[in-house]
Structure 1
Amino acid sequence: MKTVPFTRQEMIDCIEGRPTRRPAVAIGTWIHLDQLSEDKQRRLEKLYADYPFDMEAFYIKKPATFGQPGDRFCWCDVKDADPHIGRTKSVGVDEENAISWEVYDQITPELPDPAGVDLFEGWPEDDGRYRMAWLSYGPWSRIWEYRGMTNSLMDLYTDPARVQSINDRTMRWFKEVIDQVAAGHRADAIGFGDDHGMQKGPFMSPKMFRKFYFPFYKELCDYAHSRGLHVWLHCCGDAMKLLDQFILAGFDVLHPIQKYAMDETAVMEKYGGKIAFWSGMDLQQILPFGSQEDVRQEVHHLVDTFYAPQKTRTIFTVSNRLEDNVPVENIEAFIQEVYAYTEGPTPAAADAGCTGA
């Protein structure tokens, strides 16, 4: 081991703005080793052993998108509602599950129902690090999973009551999961994704967001905080116009502050210290196509922007799910350079005769 991971309390201090010995490094749910080539898996397993992350993140078992009548752990139990059945032509990924409101209105009201399901299957024992339960989709992602992106944008105007019903269904599911987390599965946070940002702005105006999604987020954050949990939000794209509302709602951590969509310096100048930034290394250009030196220079930019000098509430990761097109050398350069640039050799490294990354 070349670095010593944060204790649970050190990670809490980082998120809540108290001084820490370096920024946190918490990859979370963004690197799935089983989806990478075997060579990358072996090299990254070695990397993780040398540089153990400051957080463990675990997926909550996800309900199926479609089921049949009688299925309880799904989002839609209407007979043969899955539009994949009988489909003869391809559609866009954001439309592939789209159903009509007529079908939606037939879904059993209390679904998905987690009763009798082990939501925490495969979770390892607590090793003293900070732990996050990842709940997958939030309410905005949930509506376009039901309706498709094109319909969903129109639904905000034409069917606000049904949009609210989806928010209510999602809230009930989230609260049931939070209750189970708090009842016996030691975790410090919940996290989920809701991609409100496009490359050059949000999908909806701040006014529309305030009407449909701010109340959901505020209620959720208040509920999670009442059970002793932080709330982490993943939001791709340019969400600058929504950050005030994210902060007011009570989110503790925001990911990724996406390069080429958001101006990291402008974000820090306006919002630094008001929320923890789970800052993501760029996956559009730098990690997949840059050199190792490009990666190291970008690490310096991220650290200088989000952490140094004397800035807190900073956690580093990648900007989204890492795919197999990223050279493993660039992943290694990213993780090693974060430690080398912010910490240097730790006591553990010195004891082992190491000189740093």
Structure 2
Amino acid sequence: MNARERVRAVLNRETPDRIPVDIWMVPELVDKMKMRLGVQHELDVYRKLGVDKIAWLGVPYKGAEIIDPNRQGMVNHWGVEFEKVEANANAEYGEVSYNPLLELDCPSQLESYSWPSPDSYDYEVAVREAKELSREFVTLGPWISLFEIYCSMRSLEEALMDTLAEPEFLHAALDRIASVQGEMVNRFLQAADGAVDMVFISDDLGSQSSLLMSPDAFEEFLFPRLKAWCSMIHSHGAKVFFHTDGASEPLIPRLIEAGIDVLNPIQHVCPGMDCKELKQKYGNLVIFHGGVENQQILPFGNARQVADETRKCLDELGPDGFIPCSCHFAQADTPLCNIFAFIETVHQYEI
């Protein structure tokens, strides 16, 4: 089997020749891998390592507007401004520095806001990339979100307060956010004609210790819109890959009912996220992706500890219905030998 066939087998509840292995790495770590392996392109890193990479897709936006041209930094098509922040000596991240909806207080004000248009996405470029990558890899994308985008536009603090204090405003904004992205994904999937295997929906619902929002808030604000998205995505023959960090177990049954197919990243160090228990409860209902601990073991452990952690995830989340991967993006200072140990352990695991 090749990488595409291997991952598709797991997604379809079939038995592959071996368990596939995926890896997420920040660009700085990818560059280190290129140098170590003597290759120039990112995909060649995965080919050389035997990684069954789930290839990311994006749909570029052609008409991003800067709300205030005098402000410095990157502004995306939602009007959210970012600034580069040095995370450590080896990596930079884009952190939100301007929330365009922060000062608004009335749903009617949203009518005059400059929302992105589904007409302004570059579907031709995205479809061409999807068709090329799908010859070899399972494809995943584009990234879409409901509450995460709202948080970036409103601020996390105000967004969470809105679930109680400003529900009408929140509903109105989420309707806009859902409509723009839903239409974009619908057009993209239709044009891609089967070249997109999964759509990436990201809405972090858990913190390190508990839910970020109450189950009632999830039920009111997110569940109906998520379910509509899942139905639309399934109508094109694609699957739904859902990302939520943290202690999000109380919401997993409703995520499954909404229609998600793959759950990522299984942050098992958080309360309620024990791998054995999740497998017992939901293993027949959803595919797990991720698992390998990425806050302590992968960046700071040794190769033996990484191998032990990987085998534990394979034993408890697999072997069927599981695609092992770093629990999130492996960071820039992660030792390459730990990445190698993770990949080798999956390769050697007997189904």
SS at match of 1:342: coil
* CA deviation after TM superposition for structure 1 residue 249, in Å: 0.4
Q: Matches of residues 84-99 of structure 1 in structure 2 within 5 Å?
A: 96-97=98-99, 99=102
8 A contact 1:236–1:256 mirrored in 2: yes
CA drift at 1:297: 0.5
Matched AA of 2:22: A
Aligned position for 1:88: none
Q: Residue 167 of structure 2 aligns with which residue?
A: 160
**Counterpart of 2:307?**
296
Identity %: 24
User: What is the TM-score normalised by the length of structure 1?
Assistant: 0.80
Matches within 5 A, 1:268-287: 268-287=279-298
Runs of 5+ consecutive residues of structure 1 not aligned to the other structure? 85-92, 344-357
How many Å apart are 1:329 and its aligned residue?
0.8
Q: Is the contact between residue 142 and residue 166 of structure 1 (CA under 8 Å) also seen in structure 2?
A: no
- For residues 87-125 of structure 1, the C-alpha deviation after alignment (integer angstroms, 9 at most, x for no partner) is xxxxxx577536222598256467211424325458261
Partner of 1:197: 206
What code does the residue aligned with 1:316 have?
Answer: P
Give the superposition deviation at 1:286: 0.4
- Of residues 8, 14, 18 in structure 2, which corresponds to 1:12? 8
Q: Is the 8 A contact 1:232 1:253 kept in 2?
A: yes
Local SS of the residue matching 2:349: helix
Inter-partner Cα distance in structure 1 for 2:211 and 2:264: 15
Structure 2 residue 326 is the aligned partner of structure 1 residue 326: no
Indicate yes or no: 2:58 matched with 1:55.
no
Match 1:41 to one of 28, 34, 41 = 34
Change (3 A) 1:64 1:251: farther
Please give the per-residue CA displacement for 1:295-350, whole angstroms capped at 9, x wherever unaligned.
00011101101114xxx22111111122211111101111121111236xxxxxxx
Deviates more, 1:17-26 or 1:167-176: 17-26
Q: Counterpart of 1:123 in structure 2: which amino acid?
A: E
Provide the C-alpha distance between the structure 1 equivalents of 2:110 and 2:207, rounded to a whole number of angstroms: 32
Change (3 A) 1:340 1:216: same
Contact 1:94 1:149 in 2 (8 A): no
Asked if 1 retains the 8 angstrom alpha-carbon contact of 2:33 and 2:336, the reply is yes
Contact 1:235/1:256 (CA < 8 Å) preserved in 2? yes
After TM superposition, list the pairs within 5 Å mapping 1:102-251 onto structure 2.
102=105, 105-106=109-110, 108=112, 111-119=115-123, 120=125, 123=129, 125=132, 126-135=134-143, 137-185=144-192, 186-251=195-260
Q: CA deviation at 1:265?
A: 1.4
8 Å contact kept, 2:62–2:122: no
**SS of equivalent to 1:316:** strand
Superposed CA deviations along residues 153-197 of structure 1, whole A, max 9, x for unmatched, are 110111111211222122212222222322322211111321111
- Where 2:57 maps in the other structure, the secondary structure is strand
Q: Is the 8 A contact 2:118 2:181 kept in 1?
A: no
Residues 327 and 66 (structure 1), Cα distance of their counterparts in 2 relative to 1, 3 Å cut = farther
Change (3 A) 1:83 1:297: closer
Q: RMSD across aligned C-alpha pairs, in angstroms?
A: 3.0
Distance (Å, rounded) in 2 between the aligned partners of 1:190 and 1:307: 23
83 and 335 in structure 1: CA distance in 2 versus 1, 3 angstrom threshold: closer
Report the counterpart of residue 256 of structure 1 in structure 2.
265
Deviation at 1:54, TM superposition (A): 4.7
Which region of structure 1 is more displaced relative to structure 2, 44-53 or 143-152? 44-53
CA shift, 1:257, in A, is 0.7
Structure-2 change in CA distance of 1:95 and 1:342 (3 Å): farther
Corresponding letter in the other structure for 2:25: I
Q: Is the 8 A contact 1:132 1:191 kept in 2?
A: yes
* Cα offset, 1:221, TM superposition: 0.3
